[in-house]
Amino acid sequence: MSQNQKRKQKLNKPARRGYCVFTVEKNGEKSLPPPPSPPDPRSAIRFDIKSDEDIVYQSNYKFNIKIEVLINNSTKSRCSKNNEKNGTKNAPRRQNAWILYRRDKSMNKEFEGLTTAIVSLKIREMWEKEPWEVKELFSALSRLAEKRHIEQYGKNYRYQPVHMKKPIALPIILPIALQKTSYHQ
């Protein structure tokens, strides 16, 4: 082999620095992969990205419930009381941002003595008026709650609703004394 052929052979080998670039030869011609697309000029590059823990624990938001209590599932719900009473371990649903916000706000003293329907309506209006920073805070909180849920109940959780069976409508049977004996009167 000549020295030129050896040099060409070395140039064709990919560099071994943790990654490899593949080239495809078709009819003796090399085709290179397409270059990466340029970044979108309309989107901002954020360098201040924080972890969910940083967002939640470094916020100035005044929670009505301690954060640790909020991201854990309720111990006062019907589901948890039934689990405790029956000794079962049915996993509750994961808490989303709205549920966590509602749970936190419902502990406010202004909602004492109101029905849950009225409380939900008022809190929904409050949620709609909240700035995106608060919604992002509760989204980060919901991701923390999801991590906690996975620790407690496993990764394979899937919500399986239990639908109540509708009672079968039975025909009304009147006592014999009330039934007409003759239809031709």
- Partners of 26 in beta bridges: 29
Tokens of 17: 């620095």
SS3 per-residue string spanning the chain? CCHHHHHHHHHHCCCCCCCCCCCEEECCEEECCCCCCCCCCCCCCCCCCCCHHHHHHCCCCCCCCCHHHHHCCCCCCHHHHHHHHHCCCCCCCCCCHHHHHHHHHCCCHHHCCCCHHHHHHHHHHHHHHCCHHHHHHHHHHHHHHHHHHHHHHCCCCCCCCCCCCCCCCCCCCCCHHHCCCCCCC
Domain map of the chain by residue range? Answer: 52-153
Between residues 140 and 76, the one the model is more confident about: 140
- Residues 95 and 71: their CA atoms lie apart, in Å, by 8
pLDDT at 10: 56
> Which residue in the block uniquely carries the two structure tokens 């899937």?
158
Q: Is the per-residue pLDDT at 98 higher than 90?
A: yes
Distance separating alpha carbons of residues 71 and 66, to the nearest angstrom: 9
> Whole-angstrom Cα distance, residue 148 to residue 35?
41
* Helices 97-105 and 132-153, axial angle in degrees (round to 10): 100
How large a percentage of the chain has pLDDT more than 70? 64
Q: What is the pLDDT of residue 73?
A: 79
| Model pLDDT, residue 182 | 56
Which is higher by pLDDT, 179 or 43? 43
Task: Give the model's pLDDT for residue 141.
Answer: 94
Taking only the tens place, the pLDDT of each residue in 33-89 is 677 788 777 777 666 678 888 888 988 999 999 999 898 877 676 666 666 677 667
pLDDT score for 97: 94
pLDDT band at 126 (very low <50, low <70, confident <90, very high): very high
- Residue 152 is predicted with a pLDDT of 83
Mean pLDDT of 149-165: 82
